[in-house]
Amino acid sequence: MMQSFASAAKLRSGGAASENFIRRSGGYSRIRTQCRLMIAIAFLFVRMVCDCFKSRRRLDAELLVLRHQLNVLRQRAPCRLKLRWADRALFVWLYRRFPRILDAIIIVRPETVVRWHRMGFAAYWRWKSRPLGGRPWIRKEVRDLIRRMSFENPLWGAPKIHGELLKIGIDVAQSTVSNGMDRPLCVPKT
């Protein structure tokens, strides 16, 4: 299928498109990046499990080397790092599991990790308290039409207006029509 897609693209563009361009524009690079990220996170968890069986001195030496590497990278990195959402989520998860990890974080300020955690907490509760639906809203035109029909025909009740609306193809409940009717204070006598 890839070759047929590539040949069709070459025919459309006059043969100027290459397979690498098609792969990148087709979304293959994004999927590949996500797979690499998932593999890196899985590798991190495997390393965490393996660290449980290492000696204390070896862990201290490894920690020293990693901190030195971070210091070197900090000197060469730009002023502000651009972290992906997965990196932020990992820092927040580690902070929730081990709150004292804030002392060891070097590449971002500890306040930043706490702010990310609070933003995630707020986003969760905003999502949790969203309106779940209920009765659908009636469009303003339909409400205005119901109100106009009730004013122009004061002797009509909700069943009659509901029937007229059904005849013109507007499907609303009779209770909605009765709620949308504004009655004049006095009904004119005929």
Q: Where are the domains of the chain?
A: 1-52, 140-180
What is the predicted pLDDT for the residue at 165? 93
Q: Are 176 and 138 in contact (CB under 8 A)?
A: yes
What residues in the chain have per-residue pLDDT under 70?
1-28, 106-107, 183-190
138 CB-side CA count, 13 A: 17
What is the predicted pLDDT for the residue at 12? 46
Q: Which residues of 48-77 are buried (b: 16+ CB within 10 A; e: fewer)?
A: eeeeeeeeeeeeeeeeeeeeeeeeeeeeee
What is the predicted pLDDT for the residue at 33? 80
What is the predicted pLDDT for the residue at 142? 92
Considering only CA atoms, give the Rg of the chain: 32
pLDDT in tens, 70-122: 777 777 777 777 778 888 888 888 888 888 777 777 667 788 888 988 999 89
> Is the pTM higher than 0.75?
no
What is the predicted pLDDT for the residue at 26? 54
What is the predicted pLDDT for the residue at 102? 75
CA dihedral (105, 108, 113, 116) in degrees, to 10, reads: -160
Task: Name which of 128, 130, 92 is nearest 112 in CA terms.
Answer: 92
